[in-house]
Amino acid sequence: MKPRVWMRGVFRRLRAQRYKYQRQVQVNVSRSALESNLKVFQRICGNVAVAPVLKSNAYGHGLVHVARILDTAECPFFVVDGYHEALILRNEGIRTPLLVMGFTPSENILGSRLHNVAFMVGDLEQLKTLATHRQSQCRLHLKVDTGLHRHGVAPSEFNEALRLITSAPGLELEGICSHFADASGSDTAFTKTQLTGWNRLVEPHLDRVRYLHIANTAGTTWTQEAVGNVARVGLGLYGYDTHPSRSLSLKPALSIQSRLRSLRTIDPGERVGYGLTWQASDVTTLALVPTGYNACVDHRLSNKGAFRIEGAVCPIIGRVSMNTTTINIPQVTDAKPGQVVEIIASDPEAVNSVSKIASICNTTPHVILSGISPLLRRVIVE
């Protein structure tokens, strides 16, 4: 580790000692779960290497925390979305190679001095700019649009893109990539069409280009059919899989806890929260939890979701507020301020697991996880 990175860490720890205080919400990230999930996908993929995806603050788990856990796992590279994420990881002393897969302005690529960082490029005009102006060596992964229609050069532009990269002295073609559009879908026809197009394009380059990758988490079911040597695993790394036809031994790596702030009793007929959307039918003891939709409680859980206290289910009542959530605690007879409240459980069967929350909110685990505030404290647990 570089001396300045080491000293920065020392000063950070000293400041933390000086300003100690009890945080109201804590995100726990399990080292053993992340390592176990990585091994699951390494077994599935066989001779195809697994590249962890750390975009969007490592799906809410904490960019630097997850990178530190996996930095010694000998992965081919970590995938991030933006240049700022690559900058953070390098400043924190992370040594694993990085691939920036989101759009990066040409100015950032041309001016980058980050070590061992490659960039995804999928636009002919940008390639022309880079080929003209980049002097020192820059590694690129050429993105090809095989059907998702989000990023990438069209198949008809593929050869021209290759020519621009290989003829420019400052550019190095390190990889070719694409992205499945519906790898978890029950109708596999489109995925097979994508695979056919992808394989036809990249097979001639299998021995010439270091990395070929199209598979995401769901797409790891297709790694044996796809020409390639890397799979980019995001959601699965954190313990979730949206593929309906397989059951993997994945372990959710995240849990969130807070503490009861206060208790109050209301009479029958009284209403709770903004809009008065919940009404007590009996004398009811309410508990206030100091977190809301600003941090980690989706607003769609209003009157639908639940937290847990020592395993007891405590329904959310009324609307979730920005900084406060109200829960009903009929099964908790000895509740008191300061008591630990489980906001999100790592137990996949719990009523407040990420998957159950996503189902209530009619969305996906990706949305719930990436919505967890980066300002919350992350703690690595075993």
Q: Report pLDDT digits (tens) over 92-103.
A: 999 999 999 999
Q: What is the CATH number of domain 31-238?
A: 3.20.20.10
61 neighbors 369 (Cβ within 8 angstroms): yes
DSSP 228-288: -SEEEESGGGGT----TT--------EEEEEE--EEEEE-TT-EETGGG-EE-SS-EEEEE
The stretch 261-271 carries a mean pLDDT of 97
pLDDT-based confidence at 228, cuts 50/70/90? very high
Q: Report pLDDT digits (tens) over 189-210.
A: 999 999 999 999 999 999 999 9
Query: How many CB atoms are closer than 10 A to CB 169?
Result: 10
Q: Which residues contact 267 (CB under 8 A, 6 or more apart)?
A: 280, 283
Distance, in Å, from the CA atom of 186 to the CA atom of 184, rounded to the nearest integer, reads 7
Distance, in Å, from the CA atom of 235 to the CA atom of 79, rounded to the nearest integer, reads 12
- Report pTM: 0.93
* Beta-strand relationship, 78-80 and 98-100: parallel
Distance, in Å, from the CA atom of 81 to the CA atom of 230, rounded to the nearest integer, reads 17
For residue 134, the model assigns a pLDDT of: 77
The stretch 141-160 carries a mean pLDDT of 98
Distance, in Å, from the CA atom of 113 to the CA atom of 109, rounded to the nearest integer, reads 9
Q: Which CATH architecture has domain 254-345+347-381?
A: Beta Barrel (2.40)
Q: Report pLDDT digits (tens) over 269-312.
A: 999 999 999 999 999 999 999 999 999 999 999 999 999 999 99
pLDDT-based confidence at 14, cuts 50/70/90? low
Q: Report pLDDT digits (tens) over 164-179.
A: 999 999 999 999 999 9
Distance, in Å, from the CA atom of 59 to the CA atom of 378, rounded to the nearest integer, reads 13
pLDDT-based confidence at 136, cuts 50/70/90? confident
pLDDT at 10 over 80: no
For residue 23, the model assigns a pLDDT of: 87
Q: Report pLDDT digits (tens) over 15-50.
A: 666 667 788 999 999 999 999 999 999 999 999 999
Q: Give 6 or 351, the one with higher predicted confidence.
A: 351
Q: Which tokens belong to 270?
A: 């009284």
The stretch 312-340 carries a mean pLDDT of 96
Distance, in Å, from the CA atom of 161 to the CA atom of 153, rounded to the nearest integer, reads 8
3-state secondary structure of 73: coil
DSSP classification of residue 360: H
* Beta-strand relationship, 271-272 and 278-279: antiparallel
Q: Which helix (H) or strand (E) holds 312?
A: strand 312-315
> Could you state, in order of their start, the residue ranges of all structural domains in the chain?
31-238, 254-345+347-381
pLDDT at 52 over 70: yes
pLDDT > 70: what percent of the chain?
95
From 198, 244, 203, select the one nearest 221 (Cα to Cα).
Answer: 244
For residue 243, the model assigns a pLDDT of: 84
Q: Report pLDDT digits (tens) over 249-262.
A: 999 999 999 999 99
* Matching residue, tokens 């899989």: 241
